[in-house]
Structure 1
Amino acid sequence: SKQGQMLTEDENIIEVPLTVQYKISNLQAFVLNVDQPEVSLQHATDSAVRHVVGSTAMDQVLTEGREVMAGEVKERLQRFLDNYATGIVVTQVNLQSAAAPREVQEAFDDVIRAREDEQREKNQAESYANGVIPEARGQAQRMLEEASGYRDAVISRAQGEADRFSKLVAEYRRAPEVTRERLYLETMQEVMSNTSKVMVSGDSGQNLLYLPLDKMINSRGASTPAPAGVASGAATQGTRLPPELDPREVRTRESR
């Protein structure tokens, strides 16, 4: 087994404990070719581990990269031992949990927590984006559909008005007087239906405005209570319109 502080590819100091299992495949070479073959094994292991760790980022050393590193260390270590003809065959290299040195462990933990917070914020931002973007696309699609519907409605209404006008022109050419009178009556009906005033024609031929006095009197009587002993219809009974303004007189004359 061996443990030491090493420098990773991203220049972080880290402690990597490991164990090496081996067997002697050639006893003659193990005894005669190398002085202190176990010491040579330790030196070769240290060289192989430092080379592999030095070309690997710290995150890979601490997480899922350990298994890959163990295979690379085993391959490189066996190549060193074969070059020295030590007669040793490496059967297994186990990289245990790596950690930062105790002197910088607190700062190392802060870095780990900061990275976790960064990843969590990214995940939250992605989740928010995944919720907002489809909603915005849906609103945009709805606005497009509403605009398309409004356009179709305006076009259809314009086409209907144009068709109606074309038919009206044909009818006007057949009977100008009747069509003109009908258009006048329809227009006056549409205008007068939106006002509280009534147009009355007197004997003199001049147009007179008739105000709805009954509604005005009723509204005034509702706001101001009548004196005691006075009937509620007294105000209307004492008020009479001139014959030329009274609709009853106009209707009587028209019936005659």
Structure 2
Amino acid sequence: MAWNEPGGGNRDPWGNNQGGPGNQGGPPDLDEIVRKLQERVSGLFGGKGPSGGGGGPSPRDLSLKVIGIVVAGLFVAWLLTGIYIVDPAERGVVLRFGAYVKTTAPGPHWRIPWPIERVEIVNVDEISSFSHKAAMLTRDENIVDVELTVQSRIQDASNYLFQDQAPMKTLRDATETVVRKTVGGAKLDFILTEGRGAVADMIQQGVQSLVDEYKTGLIVTSVNMQPAKPPEQVKDAFDDAIKAREDKERLENKAEAYANEILPQARGEAARATAEAKAYRDRVIASAEGETSRFNAIRSEFEKAPEVTRERLYLETIESVLSGSNMVLIDVPQGNSLMYLPLDQIMRKQSATTSSPRTSMLDGADSNQDSSRSTSSQMRDVSRDRSSR
């Protein structure tokens, strides 16, 4: 019968009679409770109670050992709870009583277990992105629709957790601020055409500067800007202007290509004409200098020996005049000079006349006679010149 059931009497949970004469209705003795608890624990480990007798350890000693073992096991288990592993894409932020201590790299680590230290695991390789779209006023007071996508990731885990209460909201606000500043400082034509890449770079640098100033721990990896568009009300006019600009650039490129083709050719021809003129000039100058040098040399020789020089000049002149003639002149000491016609040419002429009509023969004879008369006249002139000397 349980102690708390009807008829259980005044017994306590350990079977003691609370209403006995020794108890007199008071609470159970604490020493008695501890003694009975030790006896039961020692019984579980094979020990004997006080009635067992013998010289074994007392129940109190056994209970102290058991408690020490249990406490040591619990302490070891508590220490093992401080082991944690950080993945390659993560960083571990260690906090001691809520204050930042250090940031751990990927791999196994140990910290002082809870409640002294705890670890916040932060994924630093995860890419976060958001889009921003707005209609803005440009520098030249035109309205343009701008749409871009900003991508970011965590660079400093401790700053991301503790320096800014809402890092992503700060990033969005910084993006809107920088976009309005950048677009408001540029002209519409620059934004619509070749300036899109430059505008995106300026926005990325400006946003990164702001988030670094606020210590959000974020890094802006890229800013992808979509082609800017004018408002729908004036889109047709802008399209016409862009088409005209493209036609202008195409014609300019075509003219530049033609110029690049013609100019080298003209420069080459000019260089060639200049080189030819310089060569002709040098040749004429060299020839004149040579003639001058030769004349000066002949004059100096003539001054030394006039008769000899005159004779040599005469002979050289006769040689140059008669070098192309087919006649042979023989100078004899007495009498007239004899003339010998070239027999090989006469034979060739005779063979030509035998194979041609009579008129050709007569023409050949006349030409021979003319040649003979011309040669005779030349010889007479030479003889007259000799006699005059």
| Secondary structure in 2 matching 1:17 | strand
Corresponding residue to 2:253 among 115, 119, 123 = 123
CA distance in 2, matches of 1:181, 1:78: 105
CA distance in 2, matches of 1:178, 1:186: 12
- Correspondences of 1:101-250 after superposition (within 5 Å): 101-169=231-299, 170=301, 173-175=306-308, 178=311, 181-182=314-315, 185=318, 232=359, 247=373
> Unpaired segments of 5 or more residues in structure 1?
28-37, 83-87, 194-230, 240-245
Residue 165 of structure 1 and its aligned partner are, at CA, apart by: 2.7
CA distance in 2, matches of 1:45, 1:176: 105
CA contact (8 A) 1:4 1:15 kept: yes
Residue 7 of structure 1 and its aligned partner are, at CA, apart by: 1.5
CA distance in 2, matches of 1:140, 1:61: 45
CA distance in 1, matches of 2:224, 2:241: 23
Corresponding residue to 1:26 among 165, 184, 187 = 165
In structure 2, do the counterparts of structure 1 residues 70 and 159 end up closer, same or farther at CA, with 3 Å as the change threshold? closer
Residue 45 of structure 1 and its aligned partner are, at CA, apart by: 6.8
1:55 to 2:178 alignment: no
- Correspondences of 1:37-56 after superposition (within 5 Å): 49-56=179-186
CA contact (8 A) 2:136 2:183 kept: yes
Number of aligned residue pairs: 190
In structure 2, do the counterparts of structure 1 residues 57 and 73 end up closer, same or farther at CA, with 3 Å as the change threshold? farther
Q: Which residue of 2 aligns with 1:209?
A: none
Q: Which has the higher contact order (CA 8 A, sep 6+)?
A: 1
Runs (4 or more) in structure 1 with deviation over 4 Å come to: 18-25, 41-48, 73-79, 88-96, 179-190, 233-236
TM-score by length of 1: 0.50
TM-score by length of 2: 0.36
CA contact (8 A) 2:148 2:224 kept: yes
CA contact (8 A) 2:139 2:185 kept: yes
Query: Which structure has the larger Rg over C-alpha atoms?
Result: 2
CA contact (8 A) 1:12 1:58 kept: yes
CA distance in 2, matches of 1:177, 1:19: 104
1:66 to 2:205 alignment: no
Deviations 1:186-239 (A, max 9, x none): 79769x99xxxxxxxxxxxxxxxxxxxxxxxxxxxxxxxxxxxxx648988xx9
AA paired with 2:257?
S
> Unpaired segments of 5 or more residues in structure 2?
1-130, 153-159, 326-357, 367-371, 381-389
AA paired with 2:200?
R
Residue 16 of structure 1 and its aligned partner are, at CA, apart by: 1.6
